[in-house]
């Protein structure tokens, strides 16, 4: 329902128990906090993925995180426990497991985990898990219903996970920021980075751990919102340059702003219902990304 600035101030600092107070403190404030956290997670994870894979069109889904979460959700639903908290927990575990599997496969290749092996392993794991998801939902209607609900990425607090996911977000953000100097060295090439004293293995492990925690938390809290992880790093590079020590904090701030704006647009243009933030980002973000590329504003990696 529409609320005025006075009602917002009253609800936050002098609540009286009115319907407006309940709507603001019980729904809109948690939704805003969720948008800030998820946007920051996706912005940071997207920047790290593009930096480590040296791929300007990469996003966290490249490491199989979304498909891993989807597989965990449909397996939980197929075994008879469709409750929201359980699905949320297993989506996080699935995202972690998929990312760990991708890194293990890439690291076992000759020469270790390189941008090429990470991409190839991510594509392979995503395809495998996607096939398993399809097979599961074809055989179980509960799994299909759970997948359909989860696939609509939204900032509506659906699983009660916000209260206990913030430590994972904080740890992931700290690891991401600590990975910035190593990414600057890796941008010069593996040999140049090694000559500067950067441990390639440590940098990759640190980066993959940060991506896994951040993207896994985002998937658990809001479902798959893929486009933010793709476009936000490009906006950050265009604004602050290619130095990851600046680009990572900028990506976190821009990611939060992008998700909040998209969520607001989705609720305004589709009243009394709403368009999910993932739909708004896809519709509005794709033309923006094309225009950004055509104008030469995308800073190369």
51-72 pLDDT, tens digit each: 888 878 788 888 888 888 888 8
Q: Tell me if 232 sits within 8 A of 46, measured CB to CB.
A: yes
134-175 pLDDT, tens digit each: 998 888 888 887 787 777 777 775 556 677 778 888 999 999
- What is the Cα–Cα distance from 114 to 285, expressed in whole angstroms? 30
Structural domains in the chain plus CATH codes: 33-294 (1.10.3470.10)
Give 236 or 108, the one with higher predicted confidence: 236
pLDDT band at 295 (very low <50, low <70, confident <90, very high): low
pLDDT of residue 21: 66
pLDDT of residue 267: 83
The per-residue pLDDT of the chain, averaged, comes to 82
Cis (ω within 30 of 0) for the bond into 272? yes
Contacts by 243-250 with C-beta closer than 8 Å and gap 24+?
Answer: 243/184, 244/47, 244/51, 244/179, 244/180, 244/181, 244/183, 244/184, 244/187, 245/180, 245/181, 245/184, 247/47, 247/180, 248/44, 248/47, 248/48, 248/176, 248/177, 248/179, 248/180, 249/177
168-182 pLDDT, tens digit each: 889 999 999 999 998
pLDDT band at 9 (very low <50, low <70, confident <90, very high): low
Q: Find the range with the poorest average confidence among 41-45, 77-81, 89-93, 227-231.
A: 77-81
Give 2 or 18, the one with higher predicted confidence: 18
pLDDT of residue 162: 73
206-258 pLDDT, tens digit each: 988 899 889 888 888 888 887 888 889 988 998 998 899 999 999 999 999 99
pLDDT of residue 285: 74
| SS3 (DSSP) at 45 | helix
């Amino acid at each position: 329902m529409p609320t005025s600035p006075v009602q917002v101030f009253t609800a936050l600092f002098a609540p009286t128990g009115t319907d407006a107070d309940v709507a603001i403190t019980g729904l809109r404030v948690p939704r805003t906090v969720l948008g800030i956290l998820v946007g920051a997670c996706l912005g940071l994870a997207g920047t790290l993925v593009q930096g480590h894979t040296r791929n300007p069109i990469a996003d966290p889904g490249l490491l199989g995180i979304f498909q891993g979460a989807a597989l965990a959700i449909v397996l939980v639903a197929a075994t008879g426990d469709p409750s929201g908290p359980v699905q949320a927990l297993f989506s996080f575990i699935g995202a972690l497991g998929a990312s760990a599997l991708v890194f293990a496969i890439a690291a076992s290749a000759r020469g270790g985990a390189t941008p090429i092996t990470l991409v190839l392993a991510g594509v392979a794991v995503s395809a495998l898990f996607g096939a398993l998801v399809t097979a599961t939902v074809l055989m179980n209607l509960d799994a299909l219903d759970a997948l359909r609900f989860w696939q609509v990425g939204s900032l509506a607090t659906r699983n009660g996970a916000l209260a206990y996911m913030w430590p994972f977000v904080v740890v992931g953000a700290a690891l991401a920021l600590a990975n910035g100097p190593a990414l600057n060295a890796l941008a010069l090439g593996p040999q140049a980075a090694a000559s500067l004293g950067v441990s390639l293995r440590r940098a990759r492990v640190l980066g993959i751990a940060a991506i896994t925690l951040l993207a896994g938390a985002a998937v658990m809290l809001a479902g798959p919102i893929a486009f933010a992880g793709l476009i936000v790093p490009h906006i950050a590079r265009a604004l602050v340059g290619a130095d990851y020590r600046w680009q990572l904090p900028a990506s976190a701030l821009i990611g939060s702003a992008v998700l909040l704006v998209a969520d607001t647009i989705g609720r305004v243009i589709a009243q009394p219902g709403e368009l999910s933030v993932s739909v708004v980002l896809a519709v509005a973000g794709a033309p923006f990304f094309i225009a950004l590329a055509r104008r030469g504003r995308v800073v190369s990696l």
